[in-house]
Structure 1
Amino acid sequence: MRRVLSTAEGLGRPAPAAEPAPIAPGPVFRTEFPFVLPRGYVDDRGTVHRTGSMRLATARDELVPLRDDRVRENPPYLSVVLLARVITRLGTITDIHAGLVEDLFASDLAFLQDLYRRVNAEGHTRAEATCPSCGHEFAVDLSGGRVGES
């Protein structure tokens, strides 16, 4: 035997679904990391570009350069091709290519290689430091901003 309940508000309609509880916001997943180069890229007009942005690398970003003839002939060139794929902006320049990365000062290239390693292997640009005078431990951001800048 089947019992049917009838009420004025629910005739023939399913009970309303309960609203899901709002999800508390967690830490934001960053995919782009701003940076400031130690020296800066100097373009054809003499403009110095120091600020930029690097995105997280994908598996494709790391695999495709391995098929590049320039990398096959000269394995250290891998970092140039890889950085050209993940740097999204350098100053006002958005067309980042291997030739541009080749023209960076060596100190800027080393900085970007280290930043790439930090954001893709460690997921952040922070490092722990200890004051040599007082022994206080603190975190520093290695993305290249000047002291006092945010």
Structure 2
Amino acid sequence: MNNEEIFCTEFEFILPRGLLDTEGNLHRHGVMRLTTAKDEIMVQRNRDAQENSSYAVIVMLSRVITKLGSLTEITPDLLENLFSKDLAYLREFYNRINQQGDVYIPVQCPQCQSQFQVELALAGE
């Protein structure tokens, strides 16, 4: 096992529906990185997030999503156009990778007792 397998900081995802950009292009495949302390601080300093605590999720996601389809500049304004199902998916994905470090869970075969990891499917996949 190399260091990248031990400590991964970026995770790929596929949105259930996808984000439609202003030109009508659908973006479903993306990459999210782990949150840093700076991300937390920047969200707290964001005026829109201060005025509306539920908007903080959009601001945080705009900081940690590094790519969405062909888009590499992810802004809160862009993410405001997410479908509700995709926003719920991204919240769950964000929580999973930042609390557990990955999207895999250890499991054990009930018949042979072998232990292995399985990717945990997120709601909407």
Q: Please, what TM-score do these two structures have when normalized by structure 1?
A: 0.69
Provide the residue aligned with 1:135 in structure 2: none
Distance 1:76 1:141, change over 3 A: same
Q: Does 1:57 align with 2:16?
A: no
Matches of residues 99-114 of structure 1 in structure 2 within 5 Å? 99-114=77-92
Q: Please, what TM-score do these two structures have when normalized by structure 2?
A: 0.82
The alignment partner of 1:109 has SS state of: helix
Of 77, 81, 86, the match for 2:64? 86
The alignment partner of 1:75 has SS state of: coil
**Deviations along 1:124-148, whole A, 9 cap, x unmatched?**
112578xxxxxxxx7333368x7xx
Native 8 Å contact 1:127 1:142 kept in 2: no
**Deviations along 1:2-60, whole A, 9 cap, x unmatched?**
xxxxxxxxxxxxxxxxxxxxxx8454321110000000001112111100000011011
Please state which structure has a larger fraction of its residues in helix: 2
What is the CA distance between 1:62 and its match in structure 2? 1.1
Q: Which residue identity lines up with residue 86 of structure 1 in the other structure?
A: V
Matches of residues 116-135 of structure 1 in structure 2 within 5 Å? 116-127=94-105
Native 8 Å contact 1:53 1:87 kept in 2: yes
RCO higher in structure (CA 8 A, sep ≥6):
2
The alignment partner of 1:57 has SS state of: coil
Provide the residue aligned with 1:142 in structure 2: 121
Native 8 Å contact 2:92 2:122 kept in 1: no
Q: Over aligned residues, Cα RMSD in angstroms?
A: 2.5
Please state which structure has a larger fraction of its residues in strand: 2
The sequence identity of aligned pairs, in percent, is 41
Q: Tell me how far apart the structure 2 counterparts of residues 49 and 108 of structure 1 sit (CA, whole Å).
A: 11
Native 8 Å contact 1:88 1:94 kept in 2: yes
What is the CA distance between 1:72 and its match in structure 2? 1.1
Q: Tell me how far apart the structure 2 counterparts of residues 113 and 25 of structure 1 sit (CA, whole Å).
A: 29
Q: Which residue identity lines up with residue 139 of structure 1 in the other structure?
A: V
Report the number of matched residues: 116
**Deviations along 1:98-117, whole A, 9 cap, x unmatched?**
01111100110110011110
